Amino acid sequence: MTEPTAHDARTATVAAAKAALKRQAIETPSWGYGNSGTRFKVFAQAGVPRSPREKLDDAAKVHEFTGIAPFVALHIPWDRVEGPDGYQDLAKYAEERGVKLGTINSNVFQDDDYKLGSVTNPDPAVRRKALRHLLECVDIMDATGSRDLKLWFSDGTNYPGQDDIRDRQGRLAEALQAVYERLGDEQRMVLEYKFFEPAFYATDVPDWGTAYAHCLKLGERAQVCVDTGHHAPGTNIEFIVALLLREGKLGAFDFNSRFYADDDLMAGAADPFQLFRIMYEVRRGGGLDGGSGIAFMLDQCHNVEAKIPAVIRSLMNVQEATAKALLVDPDALAAAQRSGDVLAANAVLMDAYNTDVRPLLAEVRTEQGLDPDPVAAYHRSGWAERIVAERADGQQAGWGA
Ligand code: PSV
Ligand code: MN
């Protein structure tokens, strides 16, 4: 038998990368299809959905052209539907269009009562109201068949002394415990952190450490959600990813890009190299293996760009970062690291990052019966023109700000 050559190793890496890329699934957010903006202005766009169903129609188109977006995340109350079977019917509607309802995102940040916080509010009546909403979200998960409940709290304080920081942690823990106890065996909660805004002095869940500490106490079905836009500039997000994966506590991603604040720009737009480094740590920690349990999701709004092509572009950016991460040669990297060859180790990563993976992804899509260029295929499809004509009347959906 002849020794395997470098060429054989490369062929095996590419084959494994293709298989992983074909398994990849990324949820798209219902709110990414609706109108959105900054606190200064929400710009309306022609053809924007007027209902949760129309958002699903758009999401289904995205999946049709990319093949990697089979789930759609809902945000309650932005996607509230009425009637005893409202959510079951919505789930059925989604399935008829080739997608499924995914993560249920709770919203305890857009009600006057929450001015001083939701689950950490000093007023027990407000805390009860917030908890009722979170439990209602689990009822909705039962109806939709969703696995994950996403929890993000805008809670925090603006001024030193405004409230007792320590007590607020206790109130938070109490609410999380109540939600955790309500979850079904197959359901999970993913706790998202964000270090600033709308509270600017002290945020109650500011970082991965706080989220991790709460999740650890709760148990296995409580996991941390990393929103890539929620860190201070310069934060090494891939380190957080590596650590959480190692501890079995990385439950979900909200992908987006951050230039200055929060999360409204396309994933991979601001810093594709950072996205690659994150995806490499995901791969290294087994997060790309089937059954890893990580919910990969976009959390973006498209304020000035066309929404559906922007969602498609974002998915392609995540896909490209993933493909590059999959091309890292683990044996060469490990050998360089073991021998302390700093430059060689760095070169292994950079070689993968600098590979043009677009031909590989075009091949993957062709093998899956998709158009190799999803954006062009979308533009050719006539969907954009159709929704502008059909959705001329009525109230466009927005994110409610
Ligand atoms: C908060 O900034 C956040 O990232 C949370 O995930 C919210 O639910 C989402 O944005 C709304 O877009
Ligand atoms: Mn988020």
Q: Which ligand is nearest to the CA of 153?
A: 1
What domains appear along the chain, each with residue ranges and CATH number? 25-390 (3.20.20.150)
With tokens 């073991």, the residue in question is 338
pTM of the model as a whole: 0.97
Residue nearest to atom 2 of ligand 1 (CA): 262
With a 6 Å cutoff on the Cβ, whether 152 touches ligand 1 is yes
pLDDT tens, position by position, 333-373? 999 999 999 999 999 999 999 999 999 999 999 999 999 99
**pLDDT tens digits along 373-401:** 999 999 999 999 999 999 999 999 987 64
Ligand 1 atom 6, closest CA:
152
Ligand 1 atom with the shortest distance to the CA of 154:
1
Residue with the bigger pLDDT between 264 and 291: it is 291
Is residue 192 in contact with ligand 1, taking CB distance under 6 Å? yes
Ligand nearest to the CA of 298: 2
Regarding the beta carbon of 227 and ligand 1, being less than 6 Å apart is answered: yes
Contact, 278 vs 237, CB < 8 A? yes
Ligand 1: residue whose CA is nearest its atom 5? 152
Counting ligands in written order, which one lies closest to the CA of residue 253? 2
Summarised one tens digit per residue, pLDDT across range 3-43 is 778 788 888 899 999 999 999 999 999 999 999 988 888 88
CB atoms within 10 A of CB 187: 17
Tokens of 340: 């302390």
Nearest CA, atom 1, ligand 1? 152
What pLDDT was estimated at residue 262?
A: 75
Six-digit token string for 353: 């990052």
Nearest CA to ligand 1 atom 12: 299
Q: What is the pLDDT of residue 38?
A: 85
